């Protein structure tokens, strides 16, 4: 099955696929050394027009709830023509003339409860695009909603909140959504991006990671229970790719999207071990039950009826019917260490005992070979896993030269899941290499059950990884050449075998194609030494050169060759470098020998 893989990287969720237009809507951003310098007032600015004076402070003494602890205090010290705050969104807020945008916010104030609060969309020079009024407020948290309809199409709008009167005004969960989301769903997805993914016709969707799934430390792991229920009750987290994530696009929205585009969900859960490249942490075995429960409860959330604990949560969110989860991937690019094996099998055995129909997918590490690749495959075979997740990012030449990688693979063990791959750029040559490689994948469909390119999305103004399948900004979507390769295979799945017969007539005779002419030496992006060239036939030496007399009998075609001290040296990084021996070879059959050694560079000698 050709599928897709969504990870919140390159602002793929907030500021991307998730259609929320307000950034830092609940003031929960905070700086993380080495990862992000975003703070609780990121994207928020005071409005002080006509003599107004405002002080902003983020507080947590009387929060909206225990998951969403921060809120904004707007102290109106002096009124003016416009007083309050505005949000600049993700590099601006793009709005279209005549489209409707739903706003919502939690608000309370300690004075002037009868004074209105003006909600506006403005452009960068404070021109009003749309306006609405909250006529009266309360001194208790209350949610207010309304609709804004801009009169212009612009890319850099701002959402203004302008309380009238004086005193302190408190804000939380400030939101702005286009009504035109994908399939018009509330708390939905950006329509053009969601449609671009749907147009791939993926047969499954892997989510949420990637490195995001096991996180930078256990506290940063992606815990799915924090991502369901009322968005105001979800517990946000920072993202190890260098920003924050609201979890507004959580596991419910993920399952719903899979259903909307008719593909199978393939969730990835951490196994109590965080990312080994970011100061790995390992949950003690006496604390592993919560990680086991996360796996079991996710299956219940997806498949349980509404009488179960987590099936009831799903039903309360608007989906009484199950999502029909079939696969569960445990871990991401894990090292083969004893702690991993113990925790992985603890969760796997619990899943098998309670939900034997669920297919459990393991990991093969971080590369296509070496390291832990082979031992993790042996571990997966020994424990009868349903599939093993392979990841590799290689050059296009690797993909062209490894078309037969799976032709002689073990047909009796777990299936292969190529969960992440790409050829290290998004040019046409890369797409062609990936397309050629997929012919080998399709040819081995009996053992390769699933495959998906990675990453999927990249916000052009917030790029952490290249290449990516789809690039976008706030109004445009660009599909790379690799996108069309994935679409080609996704739409035109090779699910019918056409038998073929090849007839070969052995009409070749060596005399028709004599190997005569000249010989030489060379290298590719490599420095090398050559010596003691000899050409022999029938125990007779036809020609030889030990370079003691220099290289007068050689013609350099490319590179830098010099004969010094009886050694013929190629010292450049040319691709290729080669020099031709000028004594012609006239025999049909001969032996050519030369001594060679690599002295530097990335490849080898020719």
Q: Where in the chain is the domain with CATH 2.60.120.260?
A: 44-178
pLDDT one-digit tens code per residue, 91-124 = 999 999 999 999 999 999 999 999 999 999 999 9
Token digits for 88? 């600049």
Q: Which fold has domain 4-8+183-491?
A: TIM Barrel (3.20.20)
Does the pLDDT value for residue 76 go beyond 80?
Answer: yes
Report the alpha-carbon angle 596-602-603, nearest 5. Answer: 50
Confidence of residue 2 (pLDDT cuts 50, 70, 90): very high
- The percent of residues in the chain predicted with pLDDT above 90, rounded, is 91
| Residue 330 confidence (pLDDT) | 98
DSSP SS3 for 396 = helix
Can you give the pLDDT at residue 509?
66
Average pLDDT over residues 137-166: 97
DSSP state, residue 414: P
Residue 374 has pLDDT above 80, yes or no: yes
In the chain, % helix, strand, coil (3-state, to 5) comes to: 20, 35, 45
Q: What is the pLDDT of residues 157-168, one digit of tens each?
A: 999 999 999 999
**Per-residue pLDDT reduced to its tens digit, 521-551:** 999 989 999 999 999 998 899 999 999 999 9
Whether residue 556 has pLDDT greater than 70? yes
What are the catalytic residues?
A: 333
Residue 594 near residue 531 (C-beta atoms within 8 A)? yes
Which part of the chain is CATH 3.20.20.80? 4-8+183-491
Q: Is the pLDDT of residue 602 over 90?
A: no
Q: Average model confidence (pLDDT) for the chain? A: 95
Q: Which pLDDT tens digit goes with each residue over 252-310?
A: 999 999 999 999 999 999 999 999 999 999 999 999 999 999 999 999 999 999 999 99
Asked if the model's pLDDT at residue 510 lies above 70, the reply is no
Q: Answer for the pair 324, 303: CB distance below 8 angstroms, yes or no.
A: yes
| Cβ-Cβ contacts under 8 Å for 499 (sequence gap 6 or more) | none
What are 13-30's pLDDT values in tens digits? Answer: 999 999 999 999 999 999
Q: Is the pTM of this model over 0.75?
A: yes
User: Going by C-beta distance under 8 Å and a sequence separation of 6 or more, which residues neighbour residue 387?
Assistant: 327, 359, 361, 362, 414, 415, 416, 417, 449, 450
Are the CB atoms for 253 and 191 separated by under 8 Å? no
Query: Tell me, what's the pLDDT at 514?
Result: 64
Using alpha carbons, list the distances in angstroms from residue 599 to 580, 581, 588, 593.
20, 22, 33, 19
pLDDT at residue 59 tops 80: yes
- On the question of pLDDT at 586 being above 90, the answer is no
Predicted confidence (pLDDT) at residue 43 exceeds the cutoff of 70: yes
Fold of the domain built from segment(s) 44-178:
Jelly Rolls (2.60.120)
Confidence band of 606 (pLDDT split at 50, 70, 90): confident
């Amino acid at each position: 099955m050709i599928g897709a893989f969504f990870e919140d990287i390159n602002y793929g969720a907030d500021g991307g696929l998730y259609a929320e237009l307000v950034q830092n809507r609940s003031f929960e951003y905070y700086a993380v050394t080495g990862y992000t310098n975003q703070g609780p007032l990121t994207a928020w600015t005071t409005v002080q027009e006509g003599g107004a004076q405002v002080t902003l402070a983020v507080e947590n003494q009387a929060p909206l709830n225990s998951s969403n602890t921060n809120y904004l205090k707007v102290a109106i010290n002096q009124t003016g023509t416009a007083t309050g705050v505005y949000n600049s969104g993700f590099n601006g807020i793009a709005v279209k003339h005549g489209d409707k945008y739903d706003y919502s916010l939690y608000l309370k104030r300690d004075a002037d409860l009868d004074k209105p609060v003006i909600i506006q969309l403005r452009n960068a020079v404070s021109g009003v695009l749309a306006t609405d009024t909250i006529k009266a407020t309360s001194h208790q948290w209350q949610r207010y909603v309304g609709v804004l309809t801009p009169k212009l199409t612009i890319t850099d709008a701002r959402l203004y909140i302008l309380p009238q009167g004086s005193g302190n005004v408190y804000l939380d969960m400030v939101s702005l959504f286009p009504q035109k989301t994908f399939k018009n769903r509330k708390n939905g997805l950006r329509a053009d991006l969601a449609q671009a993914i749907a147009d791939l016709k993926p047969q499954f969707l892997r989510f949420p990671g990637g490195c995001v799934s096991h996180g930078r430390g256990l506290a940063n792991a992606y815990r799915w229970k924090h991502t369901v229920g009322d968005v105001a009750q979800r517990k946000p987290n920072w993202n190890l790719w260098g920003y924050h994530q609201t979890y507004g696009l959580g596991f419910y929205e993920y399952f719903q999207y899979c259903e909307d585009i008719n593909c199978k969900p393939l969730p990835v859960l951490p196994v109590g071990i965080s990312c080994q490249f970011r100061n790995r942490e390992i949950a003690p075995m006496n604390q592993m039950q919560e990680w086991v429960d996360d796996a079991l409860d996710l299956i219940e959330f997806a498949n349980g009826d509404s009488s179960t604990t987590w099936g009831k949560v799903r039903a309360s969110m608007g989906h009484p019917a199950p999502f029909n989860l079939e696969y569960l991937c445990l871990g991401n690019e894990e090292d083969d260490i004893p702690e991993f094996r113990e925790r992985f099998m603890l969760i796997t055995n619990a899943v098998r005992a309670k939900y034997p129909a669920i297919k459990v997918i393991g990991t093969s590490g971080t590369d296509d070979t070496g390291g832990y690749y082979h031992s993790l495959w042996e571990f997966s075979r020994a424990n009868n896993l349903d599939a093993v997740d392979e990841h590799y990012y290689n050059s296009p030449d690797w993909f062209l030269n490894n078309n037969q990688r799976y032709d002689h693979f073990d047909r009796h063990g777990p299936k292969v899941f190529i969960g992440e791959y790409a050829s290290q750029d998004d040019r046409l040559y890369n797409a062609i290499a990936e397309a050629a490689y997929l012919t080998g994948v399709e040819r081995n469909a009996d053992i390769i059950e699933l495959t998906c390119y990675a990453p999927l999305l990249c916000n052009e103004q917030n790029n952490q990884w290249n290449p990516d399948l789809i690039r976008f900004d706030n109004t445009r979507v660009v599909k790379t050449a690799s996108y069309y390769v994935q679409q080609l295979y996704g739409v035109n799945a090779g699910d019918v075998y056409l038998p073929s017969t090849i007839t070969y007539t052995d009409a070749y005779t060596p005399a028709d194609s004599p190997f005569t002419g000249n010989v030489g030496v060379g290298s590719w992006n490599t420095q090398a030494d050559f010596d003691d060239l000899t050409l022999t036939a029938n125990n007779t030496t036809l020609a030889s050169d030990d370079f003691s007399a220099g290289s007068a009998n050689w013609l350099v075609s490319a590179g830098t060759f010099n004969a010094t001290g009886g050694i013929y040296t190629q010292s450049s990084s040319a691709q290729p470098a080669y020099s031709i021996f000028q004594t012609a070879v006239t025999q049909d059959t001969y032996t050519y020998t030369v001594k060679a050694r690599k002295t530097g560079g990335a490849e080898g000698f020719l």
